[in-house]
């Protein structure tokens, strides 16, 4: 009789956002009169429609697909040059970082890349993650059999190095001890879930650490468009030496509303080589070519439009709209006496839950009493206990309404 992959059997519970969706659905079934009132600030899903320049690019590409002379079949599996070149120029060269277009790998989104990147590292690679953390980094390593045993009491995996991010350290992870022997370090800034950011000096310290200890940083920069402070780095490649120790993952979901359109990319520089000189860029290209048939032509044309003058203007306006929501939520909840972090250079707000409640209890209380949905901090790791994450990606009305209802509690 066949057997399931035993690593998958180690996964505790459901994927966080599936669990939350199930709880909302169950609540709606139990309380059909209240289901329509639910304000969803849980998963970080955008709500504004695609910008006009992006829609025009999609329409144009669909028309091309409808004519024999301009039809496109399989996309190049690493991405069309027109998009890879636009990315290298606008996201890196314009910020003083040297990334060649053939070091950019276009994909169907940052989530897949975050989950898949671990495949090109050895089975015994030791990973380090922030706690709290976007669950995909850990879960994908659990599936790969890299994380050891799960402790149901602590909520920690035996073979993972956790870097606590708490109010005491300003939600900034500390460098792991040298004897932790980590080889794969996941960092995400602006941070999901805490909304914390990192200065260029702090990030440089991580790059120096990784180079010194022979580690790789997987840098998830999905939320870089939300940075307004000119002192904060948008890319890890703004730091000296990052080309020999860092992989960067980016998304079109949060800066341009592609959560339902699907587009992202990963940068693996040619200078990133393992202990034996193996090119990690070439390995990722090999993996991509084998397992992925390229993001759709029409979607890559839409991605290219994000970099046009009009596209930039329109997507910046969308980001400003969401950050307007963040300000409303931050100020409104602070007025109501809550301690709120994040939401300044990031679309996530990290709210300390009232004393004596766990984050899941507070989640239930908000849902039951005022029909507002957040994400319990404990779902992101043990150090997330005591917090609830709210997103700024809803409509203006939902931000105002959520604040009003929470204030009234």
Q: Is 111 in the site for ligand MLT (CB under 6 A)?
A: yes
Site for ligand MLT in 164-223 (CB under 6 A): 192
- Preceding peptide of 402 cis, ω within 30°: no
Q: Is 140 in the site for ligand MLT (CB under 6 A)?
A: no
H/E stretch holding 266:
strand 264-267
Q: Is 243 in the site for ligand MLT (CB under 6 A)?
A: no
From residue 65, alpha-carbon distances to 53, 70, 223, 406 in Å are 18, 6, 32, 49
Q: Across the strands, what pairs with 390?
A: 349
**Cα 102 from Cα 88, distance rounded (Å):** 9
Distance of CA 162 to the CA centre of its chain: 18
**Cα 369 from Cα 361, distance rounded (Å):** 12
Site for ligand MLT in 289-318 (CB under 6 A): none
Pick 40 or 288: Cβ nearer ligand MLT: 40
**Residue whose Cβ sits closest to ligand MLT:** 44
Pick 44 or 394: Cβ nearer ligand MLT: 44
Q: How far is the CB of 384 from ligand MLT (least distance, A)?
A: 12
Q: How far is the CB of 147 from ligand MLT (least distance, A)?
A: 20
Question: What b/e sequence results for 211-230 when a residue is b if at least 16 CB atoms lie within 10 Å of its CB, and e otherwise?
Answer: bebebbbbbbbbbbbbbeee
Binders of ligand MLT: how many residues, by CB under 6 A? 6
From residue 123, alpha-carbon distances to 12, 108, 149, 178 in Å are 21, 25, 15, 20
Site for ligand MLT in 17-36 (CB under 6 A): none
Q: Is 115 in the site for ligand MLT (CB under 6 A)?
A: no
Pick 45 or 208: Cβ nearer ligand MLT: 45
- Select from 39-47, 74-82, 260-268, 358-366 the region that touches ligand MLT (CB under 6 A): 39-47
The half-sphere exposure of 302 on its side-chain side, counting CA atoms within 13 A, is 27
Q: How far is the CB of 120 from ligand MLT (least distance, A)?
A: 21
Pick 183 or 253: Cβ nearer ligand MLT: 253
Q: Which residues contact 354 (CB under 8 A, 6 or more apart)?
A: 362
Interacting residues with ligand MLT (CB under 6 A): 43-45, 111, 134, 192
């Amino acid at each position: 009789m066949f057997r399931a992959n035993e690593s998958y059997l180690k996964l505790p519970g459901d994927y966080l956002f599936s669990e939350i969706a199930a709880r909302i659905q169950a609540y709606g079934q139990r309380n059909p009169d209240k289901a329509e009132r639910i304000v969803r600030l849980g998963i970080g899903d955008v709500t504004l429609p695609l910008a006009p320049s992006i829609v025009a690019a999609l329409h144009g590409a669909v028309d091309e697909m409808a004519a024999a002379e301009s039809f496109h079949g399989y996309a190049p599996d690493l991405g069309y040059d027109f998009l890879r070149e636009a990315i290298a120029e606008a996201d890196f060269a314009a910020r003083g970082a040297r990334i060649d277009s053939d070091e950019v790998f276009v994909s169907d989104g940052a989530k897949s890349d975050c989950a898949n990147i671990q495949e090109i590292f050895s089975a015994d690679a030791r990973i380090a993650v922030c706690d709290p953390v976007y669950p995909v980094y850990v879960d994908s390593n659990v599936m790969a059999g890299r994380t050891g045993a799960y402790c149901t009491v602590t909520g920690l995996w035996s073979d993972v190095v956790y870097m606590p991010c708490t109010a005491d350290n300003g939600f900034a992870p500390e460098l792991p001890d040298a004897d932790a022997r980590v080889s794969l370090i996941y960092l995400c800034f602006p941070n999901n879930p805490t909304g914390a950011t990192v200065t260029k000096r702090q990030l440089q310290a991580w790059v120096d650490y990784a180079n010194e200890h022979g580690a790789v940083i997987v840098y998830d920069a999905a939320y870089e468009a939300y940075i307004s402070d000119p002192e904060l780095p948008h890319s890890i490649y703004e730091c000296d030496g990052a080309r020999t120790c860092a992989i960067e993952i980016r998304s079109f979901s949060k800066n341009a509303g592609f959560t339902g359109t699907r587009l992202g990319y990963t940068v693996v520089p040619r200078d990133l080589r393992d202990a034996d000189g193996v090119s990690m860029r070439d390995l990722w290209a090999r993996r991509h070519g084998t397992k992925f048939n390229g993001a759709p032509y029409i979607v890559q044309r839409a991605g290219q439009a994000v970099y046009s003058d009009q596209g930039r203007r329109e997507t910046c306006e969308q980001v400003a709209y969401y950050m307007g929501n963040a300000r409303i939520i931050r100020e409104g909840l602070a007025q109501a006496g809550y301690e709120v972090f994040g939401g300044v250079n990031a679309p996530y707000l990290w709210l300390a839950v009232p004393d004596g409640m766990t984050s899941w209890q507070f989640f239930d209380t908000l849902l039951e009493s005022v029909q507002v949905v957040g994400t319990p901090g404990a779902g992101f790791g043990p150090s997330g206990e005591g917090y609830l994450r709210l997103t700024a990606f809803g409509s203006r009305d939902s931000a105002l309404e959520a604040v009003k209802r929470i204030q009234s509690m």
